[in-house]
Structure 1
């Protein structure tokens, strides 16, 4: 028997935030790009938001978590995933990644990258 899988995602959400391990990074800040993708089995297709993940909520989750200064980007990603599954417990898979543009290191580096995935135990 076939089963639908639905993906709701936001790509290239741009933010300025004060994340960084070193105190200078938390003072100066940096630009970040976040991708957030959810996957789930839809409960129906009756043209109602209650049947899906609202990407406006995903945007709000990202923006709120980016306001909370963290040392590690891994912590930011874990907090984003935790909030997504709190609001949408039916989500089966979440993948979130963050790029830190021009990280403060010697050389020309376009961005650093961290990704974290969650899969429900269903």
Structure 2
């Protein structure tokens, strides 16, 4: 299995349950890890035989631009788009960290971690 990862992709976005979060926005950091078995010979040296991390970034960027109340929803949308683009993917992990969330004490970040694992055949 091969893993392709984006680590520490930074965004300013307007996700949040409270209306003020959707107005003032917040900084987010996103990690995306994708595991897959190549659909062909990697020695062909072709992007068609792997997961393109530039495409992962574009998908993540587009989803981060679409405001939602829950970052869980954002994470699931990222996973769904990756699965659609790369049907040979076996596993995906998306971590979305909301930096300095609006809480009553100092917190570095809150986070949502969403994992996907392709069902085994015959299940």
Q: TM-score, normalised by structure 2?
A: 0.94
Structure 1: stretches of 5+ with no match in the other structure:
none
User: 1:115, 1:107 → 2: CA distance?
Assistant: 22
Runs of 4+ in 1 over 6 A off after TM superposition: none
CA distance, structure 2, for counterparts of residue 84 and residue 72 of structure 1: 19
- Structure 2 partner of 1:86: 84
Per-residue CA deviations over 1:33-80 (Å, capped at 9, x if unaligned) read 000010011222111100000001000000000000000010000000
- Residue in 2 that maps onto 1:34: 30
Q: How many residues align?
A: 118
Larger displacement relative to structure 2 (35-44 or 90-99): 35-44
Deviation at 1:12, TM superposition (A): 0.2
1:14-29 equivalent positions in 2, closer than 5 A:
14-29=10-25
Measure the CA separation in 1 of the matches of 2:5 and 2:86. Answer: 13
Give unpaired runs (5+ residues) of structure 2.
Answer: none
Q: TM-score, normalised by structure 1?
A: 0.95
CA distance in 2: counterparts of 1:113 and 1:64, whole angstroms: 19
Q: Give the whole-Å Cα distance in 2 for the aligned partners of 1:33 and 1:119.
A: 23
Aligned to 2:72: 74
